[in-house]
Each structure stands twice: as structure tokens, then as C-alpha cells.
Amino acid sequence: MERKYTILAVLLIVLALGLVVLPKKKDLKETDPKALLSAITEKSRYLSVDLVTHRIIENDPTLLLIDLRPANEFKAFALPGAINIQPDSLLSATTLELLNQPGKDKILYSNSDLMAEKAWLLGTRYSINRLYILKGGLNEWYNTIIKPGEVSSTASSADLDLMSFRNAARQYFTGAGQTSETPVAAKAPVKVKVIRKAPEAKSGGGC
């Protein structure tokens, strides 16, 4: 897993070096290239599936989910409350107004990390604050929440609490009592056991 994110970090550095020489976009404040390269190595830009799921269930008003997938995939299924933004319109006037809302954590996601990484890099270059990536993307969310694995017989109490949370979250997203594994927003959310732990440190998207 660490190796995977090391490779992604190297890829982002290459992308960042390429972006540094791109023409400047008018009326947008650019992050210093050295600060941008430093931000790339910070793991705080990632938010875990469990943390984001918890915030969705809690109807966290500071959460802004941004789905970067094609419109047809977004229409078929998206995380509750997400908005669909195509990567090539990320720096449009309308999108920038949305992304620069005060008091919002903007969470980028696609099916995997790569598209979100590119969008994060572009947004961070142009000083969009509180910009994050859903670690592992929608594929990781599905495999963690909708199809959680089995718990080991030697699992710790923390692991058991986490699995209990994921099972309750699965009911929330698929609908209590439904047998279908197709995620849908539950009409009557079930009681979800909240994971009580210290919140992850926030960064300004590397800015």
C-alpha cells in the first residue's frame, strides 16, 4: 500500500513539474512551485473512506463531494450529496465560485485515485483551499462499505467496532432489509454507531 502511494507521489511530482511551465491562467493566484511540490508529499490531502462515510451519514454541512467521473456514470450512481464536475471545467468561473466557498471541505473522487490526484494538483496550483482526495476513490468506498470483508477471530475491539460501523453504514446506503447490493440512498436511515476517534488534521489542500 505504501509503495502504491509512493508511486503516485512520484507521478504527481512529474505532473507538477510539467504544470509549472504551462501558461498562466489569468485572474488566478498561483501557488509557489516549491510549495506545490512540498504539498504533494503530504498524506493529509487524503481522507479515508470511513471518515468520509461518517461525515455523509452525519449530514456534515462542511462536506462538499465532487464526483469527477463522466456524467453517465454519475447519473447511474454517486455518493449522496455529490456534484458532478468534469475535470476540464475545474477552473471555469462557475466551478471556481463553487470551490472557493468558505467553510467547505472539497472532497474529490473518481473511480480510483488518478483523476482525483490530477484535479487536486490543478486546484492546489491555483490556491483552492481545503481540497482533499477520497483515498482509493469510489472503488475503495464500494469494497469497504458495500462489500466489507470478514472479521478475523483475533480481531481487536477497535477492528470489531470499525466493522460494526461499516455494516451499519452498508444498511444506510443500501436500505435496511434490502438484499440488493446496489447502493442507493436509504429512505429511512438506520442508527449508525459513530466511531469516536480524534479527527484527522486538516490542511489547506497543501496551500
> CB burial class (10 A; 0-12, 13-18, 19+) of residue 21?
exposed
Question: What is the CB neighbour count within 10 angstroms for residue 87?
Answer: 15
Take residue 113 and report the three cell numbers written for it.
Answer: 485515485
Q: Is the pLDDT of residue 17 over 60?
A: no
pLDDT in tens, 127-157: 888 999 999 999 999 999 998 777 777 888 8
* Amino acid 83: pLDDT: 95
d(CA 121, CA 58): 28
**What value does the mean pLDDT of the chain take?**
77
pLDDT in tens, 41-70: 678 899 999 999 999 999 999 999 999 999
* Amino acid 191: pLDDT: 38
In terms of pLDDT, which residue wins out, 53 or 178?
53
d(CA 72, CA 60): 27
* Amino acid 175: pLDDT: 82
d(CA 121, CA 15): 8
* Amino acid 186: pLDDT: 34
The verdict on pTM exceeding 0.75 is no
| Domain range summary for the chain, segments of one domain joined by + | 1-20+28-207
Q: 19 in helix, strand or coil?
A: helix
Whether the CB-CB separation of 191 and 168 falls below 8 Å is answered with: yes
The CATH H-level (homologous superfamily) assignment of domain 1-20+28-207 is Rhodanese-like domain (3.40.250.10)
* Amino acid 47: pLDDT: 96
Nearest Cα residue to 141 out of 117, 108, 118: 108
d(CA 65, CA 83): 6
pLDDT in tens, 96-134: 888 988 899 999 999 999 999 999 988 888 888 899 999
**Run of H or E including 173:** helix 157-174
Least confident of 44-48, 63-67, 85-89, 196-200: 196-200
